[in-house]
Amino acid sequence: MWKCKKCGEQIEDDFVVCWNCGTGKDGSPPLDQKVFEQQKESQAFLLQQEILEEQERESEVFEEQKIASDTRVKGKKTRYPALETIAGMFRILAWLVVILGVIGIIFGCISLGGNIITGIILLLGSLAGGVIGCVSLYAASELIEVFIDIEENTRLSLTGLNRKNKK
């Protein structure tokens, strides 16, 4: 890089005249208008090429992220199959707790015919236990999924930043 002696613009070494004012590298007066315009167009072309290359790199990173998220959504591939299995087991347990809660409510209603206090306690306990148990287990399942997603997004962002910094 060199600095124009007339206007102070930073110019790449490939150019012998300032693209801004046309002054020569050695401070000589501006070249004729035709040469100056050609060099200005050349500089604009280089900048345009850099912008297009950057957009292409960003597009590639976006496509990689989209492919990674698509494969995860479809369940084809994951970096943490054990965590995915545990999250799935928590979801199954959440539904089992709901089913057991419904069974407890049914028995609570049946018990209302005999001992009312026992029936009400069984009914309320089953209802509260079913709701709290289901929500807790399902929340744990979703929390595991969030951690997996955070890891994947962090890894993809780092990959994109590394590619950007290489250029």
Map out the domains of the chain as residue ranges: 1-77, 80-167
Cβ count near 140 (within 10 Å): 16
CA dihedral 77, 69, 144, 137 (to 10 degrees): -90
pLDDT digits (tens, 9 = 90+) for 72-115: 554 546 678 888 899 999 999 999 999 988 888 887 777 777 77
For residues 57-77, give the mean pLDDT.
61
Model confidence at 62: pLDDT above 90: no
pLDDT of residue 66: 64
pTM for the whole structure: 0.50
Quick one: what percent of the chain has pLDDT higher than 70?
78
pLDDT digits (tens, 9 = 90+) for 117-136: 777 887 888 889 889 999 99
Q: Which amino acid is at 39?
A: Q
